[in-house]
Structure 1
């Protein structure tokens, strides 16, 4: 059930990205909550060094963000800590780290976890809908909510990935990225 909830959340993230391309995915949302207007997703060509930096930063980033209350605006101290972790792991700062995470998420959401091939977010969402419908252990209320969320995500336009090389890079690193992306139970 934990995986299905995460799948639904991933689908919602993909849908939200597709609809607005705003930079509110993963930990980068914290910087936006600090008061700045939503930025547009700047698609970049990812490098292996950036992927490795994101993976290396995961534990420290989680340690900082896990202490925050949901929807709480991070203070300057927390933002400085996040910036420090990003710099320690090869990024210019937390903004660059967040942009890399967003670009990874854009591709990651379209990878079929079973085949580990890029199939697009629409196909992944359809698979998740089938999984929720087949789940006999999920409560009717949770199932309805998950299906509503997934069907809503399915209605969003498929995001266009400008840097096709990002697909191969994220697919190659799929297993290493799964814990970072909140999908550690493949």
Structure 2
């Protein structure tokens, strides 16, 4: 793998890291890593997700300063304004979108599977001598959680939809970093 390809790949993984943290967190005491609950996505759900994501990112960035009941009410109101039943509905779509994105090779923009991409990420991480041992451990924990949750995609149409909107979804994630 060329240096340019590794850098692009590493940048892509960093862009998805924040979104993937919602899927699995192996470091939370008492919480087991569970496979993603896959749902069938639709074009409408993807476009609602794209429209709502900036609003949710803004709310979640302020969440620490907002009391819990108000915070959940605001998330649910925002979800309803953007075509979702509630915040849990939005979150389910978000997790499934990020799950499919995690299995897309950023260079070819083709779905190759979460395990394949995760193995490529691990190889890149092993060769990265610039990271501190703590950062290496943290990233390996995330990769480990990805491998534990990797399951075959139940809905092949989800891959086609996320791939269709790949550039928009990637731009949305990349703009956060």
TM-score, normalised relative to structure 1: 0.70
Runs of 4+ in 1 over 4 A off after TM superposition: 4-19, 183-186
Distance 1:12-1:119 versus aligned 2 partners, 3 A rule? farther
Aligned to 1:35: none
Rounded to whole Å, the distance in 2 between the matches of 1:63 and 1:8 is 18
For the pair 1:57 / 2:57, whether they are aligned, the reply is no
For the pair 1:66 / 2:43, whether they are aligned, the reply is no
Rounded to whole Å, the distance in 1 between the matches of 2:43 and 2:89 is 15
Aligned to 2:4: none
Rounded to whole Å, the distance in 2 between the matches of 1:12 and 1:62 is 14
Rounded to whole Å, the distance in 2 between the matches of 1:130 and 1:173 is 27
SS at match of 2:57: helix
* 1:147 to partner: Cα distance: 3.3
SS at match of 1:68: helix
Rounded to whole Å, the distance in 1 between the matches of 2:156 and 2:147 is 23
SS at match of 2:155: coil
Structure 2 unaligned spans of 5+: 1-6, 27-31
Aligned to 1:21: 35
For the 8 Å contact 1:82–1:94, the answer to whether it is kept is: yes
Aligned to 1:123: 116
Distance 1:99-1:149 versus aligned 2 partners, 3 A rule? closer
For the pair 1:88 / 2:58, whether they are aligned, the reply is no
Rounded to whole Å, the distance in 2 between the matches of 1:10 and 1:105 is 6
Distance 1:60-1:15 versus aligned 2 partners, 3 A rule? closer
Rounded to whole Å, the distance in 2 between the matches of 1:115 and 1:146 is 23
Tell me the matched-pair count.
Answer: 163
Aligned to 2:40: 45
* 1:68 to partner: Cα distance: 2.2
Structure 1 unaligned spans of 5+: 23-40
Distance 1:96-1:9 versus aligned 2 partners, 3 A rule? closer
Higher helix share: 2
Q: For each residue in 1:101-160, what CA deviation from the matched residue of structure 2 results, as whole angstroms up to 9, or x when unmatched?
A: 12212212211112111111111111111221222432344224423542x336526313
